[in-house]
Amino acid sequence: MRIVILTGAGISAESGLGTFRDKDGLWTRYDLSEVATPQGFARNPALVHAFYNARRANALDAAPNAAHRALARLQGARAGVTLVTQNVDDLHERGGAREVIHMHGQITRALCAACDHRWEAPRVMGRDDACPACGERMTRPDIVWFGEYPYHMDRIAEALAACDLFVAIGTSGEVYPAAGFVEEAAGFGAETLEINLEPSAPGRFDRVITGPATRSVPAWVAEVLGG
């Protein structure tokens, strides 16, 4: 059985990393147009770097939780599991997952706006950090901002077209193109499952498992692996 799993901020919530749209979510405290758009970065790169330096420190200081580890167990136990994440933290990798597809980029990586070179980000980064490849001082976080095209969309489209089961974990399903993956997979005949605190959109998925990810994801993985 080929499975595509899409995770969102909810899978890292119990590791202490905030979500975006829940009560006290990031976008209730920051104006995303200022810190998560190319225009915001052009207007005030120092503000944007300060925002991501704080999120990077939180992500680096956080630990993967039982949900991250359960998905790594699933990947290790059976072939045909594609793990796509909207998250920019590296908790899936530190939880043991392999080949994680980061469609919104990674907060642990830096990107040169002049030559597109990418490298491991320092804990604290600024726009004037010189690019190791071209030397230009136009460094930005390797994050896909609103209005920019997500990464790895070809690979994701291929996996959605071939999967038997699509699972969305801890995502509100508010941001496209990720929000459309459930319909895309269903259109190719896949079963669809949502694992969330509560249903994000009743009727959108064939099956919904509710509850905190650190409980519901290991339970679901045990069900798939037969115990």
* Contact residues: ligand APR, CB under 6 A: 8-10, 13-14, 19-22, 25, 86, 104, 170-172, 174-175, 196-197, 200, 212-213
- Sign for the CA dihedral angle at 20, 26, 27, 32 comes to negative
Residue among 131 and 166 whose Cβ is closer to ligand APR: 166
Please, what is the end-to-end C-alpha distance for the chain in angstroms? 17
- Binding site annotation covers 23? yes
Question: Least distance (Å) from ligand APR to the CB of residue 145?
Answer: 8
The closest residue (CB) to ligand APR is 10
Active-site residue identified among 49, 104, 117, 152? 104
- Binding site annotation covers 216? no
Question: Least distance (Å) from ligand APR to the CB of residue 134?
Answer: 28
Contacts of residue 116, defined as CB under 8 A and 6 or more positions apart, other chains included, come to none
- Binding site annotation covers 129? no
- Binding site annotation covers 187? no
How far CA 103 is from CA of 88, 195, 225, in Å, comes to: 9, 20, 27
Residue among 106 and 171 whose Cβ is closer to ligand APR: 171
| Residue 105, token pair as written in the block | 């980029």
| Residue 54, token pair as written in the block | 């704080």
- Binding site annotation covers 165? no
Tell me if residue 92 is catalytic.
no
State the Rg of the chain over Cα.
18
Question: Least distance (Å) from ligand APR to the CB of residue 178?
Answer: 7
Residue among 154 and 198 whose Cβ is closer to ligand APR: 198
Contacts of residue 83, defined as CB under 8 A and 6 or more positions apart, other chains included, come to 5, 7, 71, 75, 92, 97, 99, 100, 101
Contacts of residue 187, defined as CB under 8 A and 6 or more positions apart, other chains included, come to none
Question: Least distance (Å) from ligand APR to the CB of residue 159?
Answer: 18
Q: Identify the CA nearest to 125 among candidates 52, 35, 23, 225.
A: 52
Residue among 38 and 212 whose Cβ is closer to ligand APR: 212
The binding site comprises: 8-27, 52, 55, 86-89, 112, 115, 131, 134, 170-172, 213
* Residues known to be catalytic: 104
Residues making up the binding site for substrate: 52, 55
- Binding site residues for NAD(+), as ranges? 8-27, 86-89, 170-172, 213
